[in-house]
Amino acid sequence: MSKFKKSIFTGAATAIITPFKNGKIDYVSFEKIIEDQIKGGIDGIVVAGTTGEAATLTHEEHCECIDFVVKQVAGRVPVIAGTGSNDTAYGIELSQYACDAGADALLLVTPYYNKATPKGLIKNFLETADKTNKPIILYNVPSRTGCNITLPVYKELAKHERIVAVKEASGNISAIAELVAECGDYFDIYSGNDDQIVPIMSLGGKGVISVLSNILPRETHEICKLCADGNFAEGAAMQLKYLKFINSLFCEVNPVPVKTAMADLGYCDIEMRLPLCEMEDANHEKLLKAMKELSII
């Protein structure tokens, strides 16, 4: 293997929420959210990921979201389309659509529920890579999918020219260190957890695909920039400053708290699709308290 793979982005990319109003996607709010993200100095936008409630978007909505974000961003930052599925054929269909729509890259989550074998995982990702023409970020989040990408699987996937990066949300720093040691010349590594930006970047990671940056794009970008510049102590101090708020954003399943916080800030309605629902009052109070302590609200 040799690395001739260009980075999709360095820094913070927002796993952006999908705002709803009366059961439909609220594109008026979506436009404002995107514009404020770019004004806030964000380095990329991920559309229709976990935080964007992709699991409850219809096929038509999923495609419309990708189209809308690509057109609204208009090349100012990279757009990464979440197109992974537990059905490889459907994931390929979505991925091909995103490529044709002008997305800069694809984010492919491990097939959920099916719990594929290592061989099945490899075949899933390689077939998608072979049938698409944009760079691919693998997304490892075993707590949600029941499926973990192990080092031997990563090493095999690293051979493909279009599989260029990994969003690692396993939370396992030891495994991520091994991944960097063995495959860091072939993959860019992005943190998938906002509380692990600095540790992962200290190991050589390129940044984060972030929930926090929905609320604080400039600050999340700055944490990454400090680390990229080698100022890990300052980056760590900044991450720790926001740690209580980060934890409050995950006191219930993502994206319930972050969408609630965005609604509290006037960006959208507090509207999610079942089985996601409104926060428990006590958790909402915890979220508001953390925001008030940082003068976010």
What's the pLDDT tens digit per position in 146-165?
Answer: 999 999 999 999 999 999 99
| pLDDT over threshold 80, residue 198 | yes
Tell me yes or no: is domain 11-217 CATH 3.40.50.920: no
| pLDDT over threshold 90, residue 4 | no
| pLDDT over threshold 70, residue 217 | yes
Digit-coded pLDDT (tens) for 228-252: 999 999 999 999 999 999 999 999 9
Q: How far is C-alpha 61 from the chain's CA centre?
A: 19
| pLDDT over threshold 50, residue 126 | yes
For the question of residue 139 being annotated catalytic, the response is yes
**Mean per-residue pLDDT, 3-28:** 92
Query: What are the Cα distances from residue 286, in Å, to 165, 260, 280?
Result: 35, 12, 10
| pLDDT over threshold 50, residue 2 | no
What percent of the chain has pLDDT above 90?
A: 97
Average of per-residue pLDDT values in the chain: 96
Single-letter amino acid code for the residue at 38: I
pLDDT of residue 3: 53
What interhelical angle do 88-101 and 59-73 show, nearest 10? 30
| pLDDT over threshold 80, residue 254 | yes
**Contacts of residue 152, Cβ cutoff 8 Å, sequence gap at least 6:** 118
Contact between 261 and 268 under an 8 Å Cβ cutoff? The reply is no
pLDDT of residue 1: 41
Catalytic residue among 5, 167, 206, 286: 167
Alpha-carbon span 57 to 269, nearest angstrom: 17
| pLDDT over threshold 90, residue 132 | yes
**Mean per-residue pLDDT, 32-57:** 97
Catalytic residue among 5, 97, 134, 139: 139
